[in-house]
Amino acid sequence: MDIEHSSLAGKNLIAIHDLFLSELDLIFDTTAKLKSVGRPLDVLKGKTLAMIFEKSSTRTRVSFEVGMYQLGGAALFLNTSDLQLGRGETIADTARVLSRYVDGIMARTFAHQTVVDLAENATVPVINGLTDLLHPCQALADLFTIMEKKGKLAGRKLAFVGDGNNVAHSLMVACAKMGMHFTLGCPEGYEPNAAVVAQAREDAEETGSEIRILNDPVAAAADADAIYADVWTSMGQEAEKAERLAKFAPYQINSDLAAHAKPDHLIMHCLPAHRGEEITDEVLDGPHSVVLDEAENRLHVQKAIMALTMI
């Protein structure tokens, strides 16, 4: 299988807002092709991806590592004990040195600025595997999953019920770029980052998408094509857990809330799930759930991103 050189060759993927619609379409088209092939290729034969992990992860590590193997390359896992990232050595120097060894860098970090600094100083493509602000690879896998199940994305509605977090941020912008309507239902005080909302609404003006931020979970879920849940307490927020459980209790995605969505709605979650908190077993394991498809599609979308940027 041939991967065409494109505007993404050598480009970083830090935020979906930075991508043109044509580039998003190319990522999705390449994802579909790679998924249909279903066997190892030599697209990135002899190339290496450095994977920097400040935050542990099952899906991110396995999907990127397996993805590089299936593309003919190799992945190198680097955690905080392997690096002096931002401590003994500057982020800029780390980026410059790694660029002499590898063909791409994926980073999963706490501070978004860390990934930005890596991208500004590396001479190889940098892929945002997650920061406290954004999770672009997850959002792209989610929209690809909706596309597989529903076809055209434009005009459909995604309802995110819960915290205005990094996953919500990237989904909001991705929906705006693709002409999907996005509604977030969250408790007062847990709204998404205002700057990200402004970016999404800027993109939405060009596509006709509607971006709504509500404090009513029922209104958010009404007539949705897909309802999305994420954990209420993310890594680094453990001290807030009791307070968050109390405030988010009315925002649980259960059969009563899902009943307000369209009859053929999808149930989505980026995993890992705190069963019985943000979502019930009945819904997570029910006939509308596509959570395992989302998890699998992380592999295929990330393969497309690596193939297009690192070629």
Position 39 pLDDT exceeds 90: no
Give the whole-angstrom CA distance, residue 281 versus residue 262. 20
User: Which among 92, 178, 87, 181 is positioned nearest to 140, based on CA atoms?
Assistant: 178
For each of the domains in the chain, give its residue range(s) and CATH number, in order of start: 16-134+298-310 (3.40.50.1370), 138-294 (3.40.50.1370)
Tell me the mean pLDDT in the region 228-232.
97
Radius of gyration of the chain (CA): 19
Q: Tell me how far apart the terminal alpha carbons of the chain are, to the nearest angstrom.
A: 13
| Residue 77, pLDDT score | 96
Q: Is the pLDDT of residue 88 over 90?
A: no
pLDDT at 265 over 80: yes
Q: Is the pLDDT of residue 1 over 70?
A: no
Q: Is the pLDDT of residue 3 over 80?
A: no
pTM above 0.85, yes or no: yes
Between CA 63 and CA 66 the distance in angstroms is 5
Annotation says 25 is catalytic: no
The strands making up 157-161's β-sheet, listed across from edge to edge, are: 211-214, 181-185, 157-161, 226-229, 266-269
Which of these is catalytic: 70, 230, 265, 300? 230
CA nearest to 307, candidates 62, 34, 17, 22: 34
- Which pLDDT score is estimated for 236? 72
Q: Is 84 a catalytic residue?
A: no
Q: What per-residue confidence (pLDDT) applies to 87?
A: 65
Give yes or no: 298 in active site: yes
Task: Given the residues 108, 169, 244, 269, select the one marked as catalytic.
Answer: 108
List the catalytic residue out of 138, 199, 252, 302.
138
To the query of whether residue 108 is one of the catalytic residues in this protein, the response is yes
Query: Has 2 been annotated as catalytic?
Result: no
**pLDDT digit string, tens, across residues 43-54:** 999 999 999 999
Which pLDDT band holds residue 4 (cuts at 50, 70, 90)? low
Which residue in 156, 169, 298, 300 is the catalytic one? Answer: 298
To the nearest whole number, what is the mean pLDDT of the chain?
95
- Kindly name the residue from 135, 181, 244, 269 that is annotated as catalytic: 135
Give the whole-angstrom CA distance, residue 238 versus residue 230.
15
